Structure 1
Amino acid sequence: MTKINQKGTEKLAMMVLVLGVFMSALDNGIISAALTTINTSFNISEVQGSWGITLYTLGMAISTPIIGKLADRYGRKKLFIMEIILFAIGSLLVAISPTFIFFLGARFIQALGGGGIFIIASSFVLTVFPKDKQGGLLGMLGAVNGIASVVGPNVGSLVLNMTHKWHWLFLINIPIAVIIIITGMMWIPETKVTVLKRTDYWGTVFLSLGILSFMLAITNLDQSNLLASLVSPTVLIFLGIGIALFIGLFTIEKANEKKDVDAILAYHLLTNRNFMLTLVMGLLTGTLIAIFVYIPSYVEHRLGISANQAGVYMSGIGLASIVGAGSGGRFVDKKGARETIVMASFIAMVGFGSLAFLSTTITSFLVTSSITGLGFGMLMGAPLSVLASEAAGEEKGSALGTLSVSRQVGLTIAPTIYAALIQGGFDSFLPTVKESLPTEYVSQNLASVKTSSVEATLLSIKELPQSIEQSQMLTIFYDTAHLAYQHMFLMSTLASAVILLLTFALNNKKIK
């Protein structure tokens, strides 16, 4: 094959990989538009319905590092095609689910297929392309995730409005998957690491069960009473089992260093300072991803935008994250991963801090959220992947998979903490209303204000007869929302600051 033909094939392969990443990332956002519809169709509560997301998260977390290792061992093209097929089968099973239990099982299968797509694509870039191109391409993959997060809910709403059936949200994956499978078999070259060692079955079991235990501990946290739930028996049991399993994994992989075994997570990675710091940064970036879930709620509860229009105001932070991912990738190519993280985390810190104190109008929100998105996008694109792959050597798939899991853990923890902070911030609402409004008005109307959730409170206030007092109560609500959500933004500011500090703890060896 000539050099020109090889470059052409690599570009075609990247197009297929990007389409696969877009499909799997889109599915994360597209389902958010249909949660209420799905819950109604199965006649289940919101708490029960949340397991459709929880099981998907668990499946992704468990499969990601394993698929990354298998792709290194048996071939990235082969595993990519298998993942797409499994994702398509899972999507079909979800769409035809006759019961909610069947639906949950199908979502788990779908997650097992989606867990390795991004990792394999990233590993392919780090294996096939020269170093001066890797940052830009990894940034592009990060940008694709940004695009999917923006358009996912909108696509979901569009499909629901056209078909009035949530099933089509998953059926549309089938023709896309068929196209990816056909073109992938034609254009993606096979790449893998030459491995003659035995498979690390025990390490795989301990890693999978350890991740499962930690994720179950996280999902059993109670956002309405976070501190008490931290010491609840269910959380402590799963947390203890997870710690024990990871101690066992550490022991197994240490012993495997002297054996002819292809470790699922090499001991030298577990003792590599840069790699472990990168995992901590990955976890913190996961907490930043979770902020996307609450941006529409903030726009509605603080700025007074209707719920139907609130999602539109994510466009600034979403589009800026796409620009950030692309420019961050190019910056990695030119200056290095460490320098990129320093700049990106500083921008993100300024952005989240500005959201906490300055986003009091629609204009100021759009400006501050765009700054936030720029820094966030730069972090999510290339730099952490490059750091992890540099530490891993030939075991890129395993390293990227572990990084993805750490990010998934942060993404799973953060919503519970954010919800607790927001709910706690609204505890001052009723006392403020009683102090600020006439006693007669409060006694006549406060009983009509529902407090089961923040959204219910806002809607019940809007349903009160229009008056000066009702307008004052609405103003108190918006002011309370500013302080409540401020706690969440400050936590993200702190997470960005910690990422910035951790970059200075990396070994001084310049990583490019």
Structure 2
Amino acid sequence: MPEPLQTEKNQSWAITLFTIGVFMAALDNGIISAALTTINSSFGVSPSWGSWGVTLYTLGLSVSVPIVGKLSDRYGRKKLFMIEVGVFGLGSLLVALSQSFPMFLAARLIQALGGGGIFIIGSSHVLAVLPKEKQGKALGLLGAMNGMAAVLGPNIGSFLLDVTGSWHWLFLINLPIAAALVVCGGLFIAETKEPEVKKLDLAGTMMLSLAILSCMIGITNLDGAKLSESIMDVKVYGYLLGAGLLFAALLKVEKRVENRGGDPILACSLLQNKVFQWTLVIGFLSGGLLAAVIFIPSYAEQYLHVSAEKAGYWMTPLALASGIGAWLGGAVTDKKGPVFSAVVSGVIAFTGFSLFPLWVTDKWEFVTASVIAGIGFGFLLGAPLNVLVSETAGQNKGTALGTLSLVRQVGLTLAPALYAGFITGGFDRIGDDIKNRLAKSGIPADQAQMPDIGGGLSSLQEQVSRIPVPAVKKAVSDAIEAGVASGYHHLYTAAAVISLCTIVSAAVLAYFRKPASSKKNASPSAGKAQ
């Protein structure tokens, strides 16, 4: 074992560097959202084309995560960390120097391929180096940075854009950080890797990459406003079907590789493990919980009437709470175990998300609910699931962590389409609600100044301010309030249900995690024998 591994000081340095790297990579997917309009204008592209700057980054993360996890097991985590950070820095430079939109998109993809594996490499290093009783806190710290960066990204992006006046600085700022991480990584991180090295599974790697790419494109093409219709679109079901076929073929190929004693990119024996399966289920659900956070600024703006310029700042309490939750999740995991921590997460998250539809009507109530929800889903961001995965992974820690991160990313990508459908459903009912309220007030709809519903919420609210008849104005305003409330209440009710599903999944996982002897003793026949 290398000498640096023996000193606690070098372990602290390594975890610090991994933490900074995780924060830098995770921040970049949120930070760009603050500058999308400016970037689109500078390249002269439409918003729909401009959104590919975010979509390609997400796709790149999804593809790189499981592959980098396997490579880090094989070639060394220190080496892969330095390569990943270097590629991320190169991608950041190319983004800032982009002279055309195609170059910008290509550079964003390079960025993602570099940033996608940093969290996995850091987590694998922690599990390989630290004693079990200290792993939870370290993984919780990495998870805290991952979650806080995703939530704080838009705010930090807005701040940098205001200070510098140029979107290029959102990416140039990564260069000195990446350079420092590469240099310090070479000095302070001890190399760790799995002892046995076999031939790289190139066929499996390509098939997995194509399956992930196809799946993520299909999910990205979902339209939350017309969910049932969009599922029937060939751009959705075609890609999803292709992903399913590729994944089925991949399993056959990987099973053959594993039976021959090779090193598959996706170990079938691991996928057949019940504990690992249910850990992936909870990972998918955690992505759904994290996705609910995306709608906090619009909730603050449309439901609590916060100005659009300040709505993003209302994510700050939740971001800080998620960081605290991730740290607490690590501490609880160290003391009580990962399953107990997952159950606690579900209970706290259920409480927080339930408060949104049941209680929140004012800003201080919103802060209270969002802090509780943030602590709840923060528990799952780092330690519990990573520890569970490491227990079942054996020598495939990087692969297992990469698979978990991928499944979480699928949940994070899929859930917004569902949530957006709830918001759209609430908005769609406004027109009928206006007519019903006018009828109850004795005002025929054909004699009232009915607003145009098709122009969006901001247009609708502007029209309301110009309605001269107070009774009509009140009926329309109340209908808008009810429609907005209905959409967001359904959204956060769904998040509360996902939290309940987390609790149930953790209970099922706990059953499969018991030793076989414990299950036998708990059976009715065993009870009679006693």
Displacement of 1:273 in angstroms is 0.8
- In 2: Cα distance, 1:109 partner to 1:466 partner: 57
Instruction: Verify: 1:227 aligned to 2:228, yes or no.
Output: yes
Percentage of pairs with the same residue: 46
Q: Hey, what does 1:423 align to over in structure 2?
A: 424
Q: Is the 8 A contact 2:326 2:380 kept in 1?
A: yes
SS at match of 2:69: helix
Aligned equivalent of 1:480? 483
- Contact 1:303/1:478 (<8 A) preserved: no
Cα deviations across residues 224-247 of structure 1 (Å, max 9, x unaligned)?
211011122222221221111111
User: Partners in 1 of 2:89 and 2:471 — Cα distance?
Assistant: 56
Judge conservation of contact 1:355–1:368 (CA < 8 Å) in 2.
yes
Check whether the contact 1:146–1:319 (CA below 8 A) recurs between aligned residues.
no
Are residues 1:95 and 2:99 paired?
no
Show the counterpart of 1:149. Answer: 150
1:364: which partner in 2?
365
Contact 1:441 1:469 in 2 (8 A): no
Which AA in structure 2 matches 1:63?
Answer: S
Q: Tell me by how many angstroms 1:434 deviates.
A: 3.0
- 1:62-461 alignment, distance < 5 Å: 62-437=63-438, 439=443, 445-447=449-451, 449=452, 451-461=454-464
Letter in 2 for 1:127: A
Amino acid paired to 1:96: L
SS at match of 1:379: coil
Displacement of 1:421 in angstroms is 1.4
- Of 248-257 and 337-346, deviating more is 248-257
CA shift, 1:446, in A, is: 3.3
For 1:502, the equivalent position in structure 2 comes to 505
Inter-CA distance 17–459: structure 2 relative to 1 (3 Å threshold): farther
> Could you tell me how far apart the structure 1 residues matched to 2:106 and 2:465 are?
41
Structure 2 distance, partners of 1:343, 1:387, is: 15
- Taking the aligned partners of 1:216 and 1:442, their CA distance within structure 2 comes to 45
The amino acid that maps onto 1:495 is: I
1:378–1:202 Cα change, 3 Å: same
Q: Work out whether residues 65 and 405 of structure 2, in 8 Å CA contact, stay in contact via their aligned partners in 1.
A: yes
Q: 1:150 to 1:254 in 2, by over 3 A?
A: closer
Where does residue 29 of structure 1 map in the other structure? Answer: 30
Sort the Cα spacing of 1:54 and 1:133 in 2 relative to 1 into closer, same or farther, 3 A.
same
Inter-CA distance 47–462: structure 2 relative to 1 (3 Å threshold): farther
Kindly state the Cα deviation for residue 110 of structure 1 after the two structures are TM-superposed: 0.6
Of 60-69 and 348-357, more deviation after overlay is shown by 348-357
Cα deviation for residue 471 of structure 1 reads: 5.3
Task: Give the 3-state SS of the residue equivalent to 2:167 in structure 1.
Answer: coil
Tell me by how many angstroms 1:454 deviates.
3.4
Specify the code of the residue in structure 1 equivalent to 2:513: K
CA offsets, 1:135-191, max 9 Å, x none?
Answer: 011111111123323432222111111221111101111111111111111101111
Deviation at 1:468, TM superposition (A): 6.6
SS in 1 for 2:508: coil
Q: CA deviation at 1:70?
A: 0.2
Deviation at 1:121, TM superposition (A): 0.6
| Compared CA separation, residues 442 and 114, structure 1 to 2 (3 A) | farther
Q: TM-score, normalised by structure 1?
A: 0.95
SS for the counterpart of 2:485 is: helix
CA separation of 1:442/1:119 partners in 2, compared to 1, >3 Å: closer, same or farther?
Answer: farther
Please state how far the C-alpha of 1:463 moved relative to its aligned partner.
Answer: 6.6
Cα distance, 1:453 vs structure 2: 3.1
Instruction: State the Cα distance separating 1:351 from its structure 2 match.
Output: 1.5
**2:29–2:57: 8 Å Cα contact kept in structure 1?**
no
Equivalent AA in structure 2 for residue 40 of structure 1: S
- Which secondary structure does the structure 1 equivalent of 2:429 belong to? helix
CA contact (8 A) 2:352 2:376 kept: yes
Q: Which moved more, 1:429-438 or 1:19-28?
A: 429-438
1:243-279 deviations in Å (ceiling 9; x for gaps): 1111111111211222131111112111111111111
150 and 244 in structure 1: CA distance in 2 versus 1, 3 angstrom threshold:
closer
**Alignment-mate amino acid for residue 496 of structure 2:** T
Offset of 1:502 from its aligned partner? Answer: 1.0
Residue 3 of structure 1 deviates from its aligned partner by 8.9
CA distance in 1, matches of 2:469, 2:125: 60
TM-score (norm 2): 0.92
Answer yes or no: is 1:491 the counterpart of 2:494.
yes
- SS of the residue corresponding to residue 387 of structure 1 reads helix
Q: Distance in 2 between matches of 1:236 and 1:226?
A: 12
Shift of 1:217: 1.3
Aligned CA-pair RMSD? 2.1
* Displacement after TM superposition at 1:458 (Å): 3.7
The one-letter code matched in structure 1 to 2:336 is K
Helix, strand or coil at the partner of 1:112: helix
Tell me which amino acid in the other structure corresponds to 1:394: Q
Give the C-alpha shift of residue 467 in structure 1: 5.7
Q: Which has the larger radius of gyration?
A: 2
The alpha carbon displacement at 1:95 in A equals: 1.0
Which consecutive unaligned segments of at least 5 residues does structure 1 have? none
Structure 2 vs 1, CA of residues 255 and 486 (structure 1 numbering), >3 Å: closer, same or farther? same
Tell me how far 1:451 sits from its aligned partner. 2.7
**Aligned mates of 2:146, 2:464 — CA distance in 1:** 37
Out of 357-366 and 375-384, give the one that drifted further.
Answer: 357-366
State the AA in 2 paired with 1:509.
R
Aligned residues: 510
Does the C-alpha gap of structure 1 residues 139 and 362 become closer, same or farther in structure 2, counting only changes over 3 Å? same
2:454 is paired with a residue whose SS is: coil
Distance 1:31-1:475 versus aligned 2 partners, 3 A rule? same
